[in-house]
Amino acid sequence: MKANTLAVTAFGLWLASGAAAQPISVTYPVPTLDRWVYPFGGQPGKEYVIPIFGAIEIPGFDDRDGQGLFGFTTSAQVPAGLPVARYRIVSATLTLTVAVDNQFQYDPTFDSFRTVLQHSDPLYLADADAGKPVEVFGVGYRNGWTAQTFGETSTFGGAPIVPPSEGARNCFSAIFDSNGVATDVSRQVRQRFDVTPMATGTIANVAPGAWVPVGSKVVFDLNVCEPTAQDYLKKNLADGQVRLMVSSLFPAQGGPDGGSGAYSAYYTKESPLANGNTAKLDLVVVVSNGADYNNDGFINALDYDLFASFFEAGSPEADYNGDCFVNALDYDLFASAFEQG
């Protein structure tokens, strides 16, 4: 937990000094919660591994059937409760450790839902490579549950739990629109739409198509340049916790070949075999104070000059809107905030 302590200390010194907004780098080596989101999980929140797989077009099951929920409490390192506009996520990386040896083939590329349709389906598209990507999404909720109320041992979903229970899970892999409204992607194959995840897992030193050894690190670099992903993470930080859902269309059942049983599984913090290889989150975040760019409690020419110097240098500190570009839009937004005081 040393990284957390260093981040807190650095943040406190930054506030006390009135220095310009600088990135806060923090590592969360153990999740606050990790839970297998699966209708027949016997001990939710207490599993030793989280298998990630699909049940493709199987009646009574979501296409993305076995999902993994990972949560990290961030409020001790990144102040919570601020307006979401105060946050800017520079980078966010989730890392999982493979718990079962040679059980799935590595695929770091996008696969359309069409690749898991039956061969006889007019929309079927042959997969160009082996395996299926493992993907990270935001988390959506239904049946009155929220990120504040849904925990490791909360009920999986609404009745009935046994088939037909499609679309019944209380939390799910989700994409979000510009208004923050969640769309459940768990049944994307039968609903016939493709989705773009926040990240696709990559594995160093394993060739695409190769079987993945136990202990391999699957790294998900979240696309914080995508506006809805940036907004989702901002809201999470304002709430004091980051929650992510991992899922895949590895066909444990269904699909064009009837299901291969080849799918990934990851250590949880409860596993006696994890040996510290639990889910890990690395964050780099800027917490700004609007036009008070040097955080001295005043908005004046010093702030304007400081922002202008960052802008002229093309520095990330001048990326005022957090879209991963430093351009005239950032200058205009800063100038507007400055004029409004």
Cα–Cα distance measured from residue 251 to residue 189, given in angstroms and rounded to the nearest whole number: 11
Q: What band does 4 get if pLDDT is binned at 50, 70 and 90?
A: very low
The position carrying tokens 């160009």 is 128
Tell me the whole-structure pTM to 2 decimals: 0.89
Q: Is the pLDDT of residue 2 over 70?
A: no
The residue among 89, 67, 100 whose CA lies nearest residue 244 is 67
Q: At residue 148, what is the residue type?
A: Q
Three-state DSSP at 158 gives: coil
d(CA 314, CA 25): 21
pLDDT for the residue 280: 98
Residue 283's pLDDT is 98
- C-alpha distances (whole Å) from 317 to each of 4, 118, 227, 309, 312 are 22, 50, 18, 10, 11
pLDDT band at 9 (very low <50, low <70, confident <90, very high): very low
Which of the residue ranges 34-43, 253-262, 311-320 has the most confident prediction, judged by mean pLDDT? Answer: 34-43
pLDDT value at residue 112: 98
Q: What share of the chain has pLDDT > 70, as a percent? A: 91
Mean pLDDT of 301-309: 88
Could you give the CA distance from residue 132 to residue 307 in angstroms, rounded to a whole number? Answer: 44
- Over pLDDT 90: what percentage of the chain? 70
Contact assessment for residue 160 and residue 136, using Cβ atoms and an 8 Å cutoff:
no
Instruction: Characterise 30 by phi-psi region: left (phi > 0), alpha (psi -120 to 50), beta (else).
Output: beta
| Listed residue (269, 277, 285) closest to 69, CA to CA | 269
| E strand intervals along 158-279 | 171-176, 182-184, 199-200, 217-221, 241-248, 251-254, 264-267
pLDDT category at 257 given cuts 50, 70, 90 is confident
